[in-house]
Structure 1
Amino acid sequence: MGAYRTVMVGTDGSESSLAAVERAARLAADCAAELVIACAYLPMRGHELAAAQDQLKAEAYQVVGSAPAEATLRVAADRARAQGAGAIRTVAVEDEPVAALARTAREVSADLLVVGNRGLRSLAGRILGSVPADIARKAPLDVLIVHTT
């Protein structure tokens, strides 16, 4: 198999997921591949949104639509650039993480999907499922689970 052409990584803004972004960026740089950074989000609605807007006042834009995901993606792209990644694309996807990552990987023709291992060994992860385990089972492409915790 040749080098990867499109490396995709998922992030939620946690330090664990940003460690996965950095590893994916180094790998993309080594392969001269495009790096796609994806962030899944589910916007607040109804009472939850009203309460947040009441508390945040002028900063309420941060909880509407994809604003939190966009901020996460800016940080992730900066971290990726610092690791030598060249071509970087960011994508905010409204959906649950596993579905968002699998769908986006297909849409961008990724040939490698990178995720961190957070949740893989936790009790909740074993009972409810975890993003890395579910992605490894469901994704129709190579998956790299990076040790980030």
Structure 2
Amino acid sequence: MSNYTKIVVGTDGSKSSMLAVERAAAIAAAFDAELVIGCAYYESKEDANKTLRQDSVTVLGDDPAQENLNKAKVEAEKVGAKKIVTAIKPGTPVEALMAIVTEHDADLLVVGNRGINSLTGRLLGSVPADVARQSNCDVMIVHTVTS
């Protein structure tokens, strides 16, 4: 197994995404890696409405995104992560996560499985499936949603 040095995890503030943050934080703690917690947001309702897929919580504006990151950072610290960085990006969750992975030269991306087994996810794709296809680093899909 590789020795991960930079781990990216996405959060939208949901319970599911916090489970992914906890798993990523535990891995970061085990490898003494930097944990980058990212949150995507839409700049306007019009931007949010343009997306066909609704498999993640819609974060409208950078203030709610920052609140999500603050909560996620606290959870990551509880699990033992020491080196934590946060990143906010406008756009879809997939676009934002891919940009954060690239900017931070991450070697692991952790996401929850929300949307992967839904009808919409099967027809239009899901955040976990799309990032797994697009990512240049390892991707861990954490089992955070049972149905």
SS at match of 1:8: strand
List aligned pairs for 1:2-41, cutoff 5 A: 2-41=2-41
What's the CA shift string for 1:57-109, capped at 9, x where partnerless?
xxxxxx6x410100000000001001000000011101111111011101001
Query: Following TM superposition, where does structure 1 have runs of at least 4 consecutive aligned residues deviating by more than 3 angstroms?
Result: none
SS at match of 1:35: strand
* One-letter code aligned to 1:125: G
Cα distance in 2 for residues equivalent to 1:44 and 1:70: 16
Aligned to 1:139: 135
> Displacement of 1:45 after TM fit?
5.5
List aligned pairs for 1:101-116, cutoff 5 A: 101-116=97-112
Cα distance in 1 for residues equivalent to 2:127 and 2:20: 13
Cα distance in 1 for residues equivalent to 2:13 and 2:128: 15
Cα distance in 1 for residues equivalent to 2:45 and 2:138: 35
> Root-mean-square deviation (CA), in Å?
1.7
Structure 1-normalised TM-score? 0.85
Aligned to 2:74: 78
* One-letter code aligned to 1:143: V
SS at match of 2:29: helix
Cα distance in 2 for residues equivalent to 1:13 and 1:35: 17
The structure in which a higher percent of residues are helix is: 1
SS at match of 2:81: coil
* One-letter code aligned to 1:13: G
Structure 2-normalised TM-score? 0.86
Rate the CA distance shift 1:34–1:43 in 2: closer, same or farther, 3 A: same
Q: Do residues 69 (structure 1) and 65 (structure 2) align?
A: yes
What's the CA shift string for 1:108-127, capped at 9, x where partnerless?
01100000000000111111
SS at match of 1:148: coil
Q: Identity of paired residues, percent?
A: 53
* One-letter code aligned to 1:23: R
SS at match of 2:43: coil
